[in-house]
Structure 1
Amino acid sequence: MTISLKYCNITVNDVDESIAFYSGALGLQVLMDVPSGEFRWVTLGSDAQPGLGLVLSVPHAGRSQADGDALQELLTKGELPMLVFSSDDVDKTFETVRASGAEVLQDPVDQPWGPRDCAFRDPSGNMVRVAQEPAA
């Protein structure tokens, strides 16, 4: 038996603004953008990990009003789990993301546990980290 991650959800306030950030600043490609009732099924991906889709959805998509409200509150407070991407050049990635206007949380730094990483907030307030493994 084999198992692999197929989709990972990212809760966002504005799908179009998030597409611009994740595709423009991070270089991901839009894999699907299909209407789904009053919402959309939008997935982004990378050639570096074929078969993995990041799903962008607003807090109330497919949820009850109460659950959507609770998720919106967590998103607004910046309390949703962070996303961590891997890059082969974290400094170059940092400059590209910073140039996009993203809020910088941490400049690139060598972490004591190994990777060099940096951190931003996406347009919805989600923390996004980018890490590069140390050279062998």
Structure 2
Amino acid sequence: MISGVSLVGVWVNDIDASLRFYADKLGFTVTSDITLGDGYRWATVAHPDHPELEVNLQVPGPPLDPESATYIRRSLDKGVLHGVGLATTDCQETFRELSARGVEFVQEPSDRPYGVEAVARDNSGNFLVIVERHEYTGEDFAHAEVGGRYDA
């Protein structure tokens, strides 16, 4: 039986730079950095309070086929890939702390029906959505049905 999520993958341009970003800027811990056969590198980070959920930082390449790797690299260059959602108990304070560490924000903290949200980018251009969650229901969203389906 599945007991939870333990690993998510994030595409990056440079594993060394991304390990530094996630550790130095976001406060994550490097949990593994291993070079396997054919130069494939397995590198993961985790938040110290949640070591059971690792983020695998990987560059586009094998085992992807060349066409897929090129597509991922182009998407990284465009800055259109989603990285991870990050929880916080105080979005305003997290915004101030991360801004002081040099994290680039594309959206300052804003009130949403589900909480306070800010959007940053990692060093590869991936979106990092930082949310201080509040209780909410489907009725809190305009154009939504109670079941949560969008109804324009």
TM-score normalised by structure 1 residue count: 0.88
Question: Which residue identity is paired with 1:17?
Answer: A
1:93 alignment partner in structure 2: 94
- 2:134 alignment counterpart: 134
Give the RMSD, CA atoms, in angstroms.
1.7
Q: What is the correspondence of 1:56-95 to structure 2 with a 5 Å cutoff?
A: 56-95=57-96
The CA deviation string for residues 69-124 of structure 1, in whole angstroms up to 9 with x for no partner, is 1111111112223421001222222122212323210111221x121111111111
Distance (Å, rounded) in 2 between the aligned partners of 1:99 and 1:17: 19
Stretch of structure 1 that moved more, 44-53 or 10-19: 44-53
Paired AA for residue 121 in structure 2: R
Instruction: Normalising by structure 2, report the TM-score.
Output: 0.80
Give a deviation string over 1:39-71, Cα, whole Å, max 9, x none: 321111123323211000011142121111111
- On the 8 A contact 1:25/1:96 being kept in 2, the answer is no
Residues paired across the two proteins, number? 134
Amino acid at match of 1:34: I
Q: Which has the larger radius of gyration?
A: 2
Residue 148 of structure 2 aligns with which residue?
none
Percentage identity across aligned positions?
Answer: 28
Residue 120 of structure 1 aligns with which residue?
A: 120
Specify the alignment match of 1:19 in structure 2.
19
Could you list the structure 1 runs, at least 4 aligned residues long, displaced by more than 4 angstroms after superposition.
Answer: none
Q: In 2, Cα distance between the equivalents of 1:64 and 1:14?
A: 19
What stretches of structure 1 of length at least 5 have no aligned partner?
A: none
